[in-house]
Structure 1
């Protein structure tokens, strides 16, 4: 049987801290299969996958999808032991850096984000992010691309949190004009921006290209503020692009973002700007 990339699961990233858990789930899968008296080839045929794919999952080299564990539990009569790991494997499917970012965003009560080259990941539609990630070089493998897209889409759950965090986005005009994918992809992306911008806990502002004298020339800025008064941030321009939590460094980023925010169009003006850009497509 032909195996389709990413149908059963995702490759494990070497050195990832999730690797031991994936290996443990693989061993459990093998124990359940053998206890059911099934050969790997027979089990694979029932599940719709080749023997090699089953072996990879049992060795912990492949992360099984939650729905795979769900069905495997029924087929092998594992009494819920495999299903118990569905949430863990859902989390494991995303690249390590995406999991870390999602954890920070999940704890934040306020997010401040300035983008000068691309739309922020939380603002992107699935087709836009897929087209954008496909331009990166070296190119992602189909499996890695799917994991990145899935990871970004999962982060968008922040919009459904209750209570909702306060979200502030400032986007350079060029990020609204670049036809990533094609014109129709951009059109649907701008329509999505209008929907997001109207959420009561979101402030979306546009920085017109004509306003050149602001401190955003150093690159992206992101600040995440937490309920206990601590914060984390990063920028392309300083600190080697690494996340920082030092109060002095955070004050610098806060100052820059405040100036950028003040010089951008107001949220109302920005809505009108996006509507105009949409009408020009």
Structure 2
């Protein structure tokens, strides 16, 4: 059965040389093993449950194979785990270069500090909220591109499962929690998710009320990642024109500003109660 048409978001990005090289290498390995086993592409595809056309696309590096494709190929070809072991590299190749870099940094961070002026952090978003956001982008994403960036963002949420868990601090603007992007049901599910995440001991969620007369976040959003060796990287529109910085003095400025923002926001306990109140209004 041909399942290619049912799998958007697994196309190779021609501008991602590293990802394309990984997929091409895996494709060559699959073809070599298939031919060594004396199987034609049509026969191999039938054994996997895919069409001959998809087999050729995977083997020529034009299509990223799904994890279950590799698992089944390993079984059919008797590769004893050699093909299955490629899944991690192939999965990484599926995500845009920018997201892969961010995910690598987040994976090493012991502290994550974030303040957003208009949105909810990607790590905190539900899949429905993500899809609503990506569906509004201009110029518009194709359905496959929406699948691609959504999957990349969902994969980053594994940070909540790390052991030991990093310390995650988020300050969200009240307006971001009130704006019904994607509709009221999407927002309801998103607020419920925030209440759940806010219960984690490694997570601090705070809400910045809209009626404050003083606001240290006037210069825009802040992102800071701190690492085990004492180094860090940060970003804010008010520092270095928004470019990522790792200079200790610039990081200190961002940290001081973030500390003031946290002091002005509702406490984590107050913020959860406020989120529950907003949920009750929907």
Task: Give the TM bin, normalised by the shorter chain.
Answer: over 0.9
* Residues 168-211 of structure 1 deviation map (CA, whole Å, 9 limit, x = unaligned): 10000111001111111111111111111121121111001112
Q: Does 1:153 align with 2:151?
A: no
* Structure 1 residue 2, shift from structure 2 partner: 6.3
Is 1:79 matched with 2:76? no
Q: Which residue of 2 aligns with 1:185?
A: 186
Distance in 2 between the 1:172 and 1:8 partners?
A: 32
Q: Secondary structure at the match of 2:17?
A: coil
For residue 113 of structure 1, report the CA deviation from its aligned partner. 0.4
Partner SS, residue 266 of structure 2: coil
CA distance in 1, matches of 2:204, 2:164: 16
DSSP 3-state at the match of 2:144: helix
CA distance, structure 1, for counterparts of residue 180 and residue 212 of structure 2: 22
Report how far residue 8 of structure 1 moved.
9.1
Contact 2:9 2:144 survives alignment (8 Å): no
Please state whether the residue corresponding to 2:64 is helix, strand or coil.
strand
Q: Where does residue 59 of structure 1 map in the other structure? A: 60
* Match in the other structure for 1:198: 199
Aligned residue number for residue 48 of structure 2: 47
Where 1:89 maps in the other structure, the secondary structure is helix
Aligned-pair Cα RMSD in Å: 1.9
Contact 1:220 1:235 in 2 (8 A): yes
1:232 aligns to what?
Answer: 233
Return the offset for 1:66. 1.5
8 A Cα contact 1:94 1:147, kept in partner:
yes
How far residue 133 of structure 1 moved from its aligned partner, in angstroms, is: 1.2
Q: Decide whether aligned partners of structure 1 residues 18 and 38 sit closer, same or farther in structure 2, where only a CA change above 3 A counts.
A: same
- Judge which range, 103-112 or 137-146, deviates more: 137-146
Q: Following TM superposition, by how much is the alpha carbon of 1:65 offset from its aligned partner in structure 2, in angstroms?
A: 1.4
Distance 1:17 1:94 in 2: 11
SS of the equivalent of 1:162 reads coil
Shift of 1:46: 3.3
- Counterparts of residues 263-278 of structure 1 (less than 5 Å): 263-278=264-279
Q: CA deviation at 1:262?
A: 1.0
Q: Please tell me whether the aligned partners of residues 8 and 147 of structure 2 are also in contact (alpha carbons under 8 angstroms).
A: no
1:169 and 1:203 in contact (8 A); partners too = yes
Aligned partners of 2:9 and 2:145 also within 8 Å: no
1:228 offset after TM fit, Å? Answer: 0.4
Per-residue deviation at 1:265?
Answer: 0.9
Quick one: structure 1 residues 61 and 218, their matched pair in 2 at CA, closer, same or farther if it must change by over 3 Å? farther
2:137 counterpart of 1:128: no
Alpha-carbon distance in 2 for matches of 1:127, 1:206: 22
Structure 2: tracts of 5 or more residues without a match:
none
Retained in 2: the 8 A contact 1:221–1:257? yes
Shift of 1:19: 2.6
Partner in structure 1 of residue 105 of structure 2? 104
Matches of 2:206 and 2:235 in 1, distance apart? 20
Indicate conservation of the 8 Å contact 2:236/2:242, yes or no: yes
List per-residue Cα deviations over 1:100-147 (Å, max 9, x = no partner): 111111111111100111100111111111111111112222222112
Residues 1:22 and 2:36 aligned together: no
